């Protein structure tokens, strides 16, 4: 998951997602009313494996492997605050959001021009249409490059082109994203 996807996930949640594997397993158990059988079905492992992961007995406890840790993380993210996430997504799609980033950004112009791509810190309001496009891309499994194209087009229109009043026909460069945060009101 890239910086943009992480930023979208952080913006949709009001509380941080459990960070450790043990905390994530406890969340999954609580979400399934303590049923290790249901958690095992969700994770695609045996019930006994889940019991070994969560047992309190010192000698019987086992840790999940790297592949299982990724499956656990995905299962938690899919179940974390579903109603709040849906409300915040709907609000972003209706009202827009503020995008905060530090990245290489500018026109794909000749070297030395004032708008040549350079590392900039950007804070810019983007419309609900951009939010709808980003969420649709995320939901279809689009990767970071496709999301960068969507944001570059929107940032170029709002930031450089002054909502279409100047700099027509210039290509926008938006690369090397250091961080990407989204503020949904």
Q: What is the per-residue pLDDT across 106-146, written as a single tens digit (0 to 9) for each?
A: 776 566 666 667 788 989 999 999 999 999 999 898 888 89
pLDDT at 9: 87
Which residues 6+ apart lie within 8 Å of 102 measured at CB?
A: 119, 120, 121, 122, 177, 178, 179
Q: Rounded to an integer, what distance in angstroms lies between the CA atom of residue 185 and that of residue 171?
A: 30
Q: What is the pLDDT of residues 72-82, one digit of tens each?
A: 999 998 899 99
Mean residue pLDDT across the chain: 87
């Amino acid at each position: 998951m890239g910086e943009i996807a992480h930023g979208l996930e952080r913006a949709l949640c009001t509380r941080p997602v459990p960070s450790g594997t043990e905390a994530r397993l406890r969340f999954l158990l609580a979400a399934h009313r303590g049923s290790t059988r249901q958690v095992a079905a969700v994770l695609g492992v045996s019930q006994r494996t889940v019991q070994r992961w969560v047992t309190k007995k010192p000698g019987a406890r086992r840790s999940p492997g790297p592949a299982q840790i990724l499956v656990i993380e995905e299962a938690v993210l899919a179940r974390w605050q579903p109603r709040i996430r849906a409300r915040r997504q709907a609000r972003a799609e209706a009202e827009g959001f503020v995008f905060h980033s530090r990245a290489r950004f500018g026109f794909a112009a000749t070297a030395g021009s004032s708008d040549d791509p350079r590392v900039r810190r950007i804070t810019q309001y983007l419309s609900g249409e951009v939010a709808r496009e980003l969420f649709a891309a995320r939901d279809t499994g689009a990767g970071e490059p496709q999301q960068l194209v969507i944001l570059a087009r929107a940032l170029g229109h709002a930031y450089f082109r002054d909502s279409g009043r100047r700099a027509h026909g210039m290509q926008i460069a938006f690369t090397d994203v250091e961080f990407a945060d989204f503020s949904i009101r």
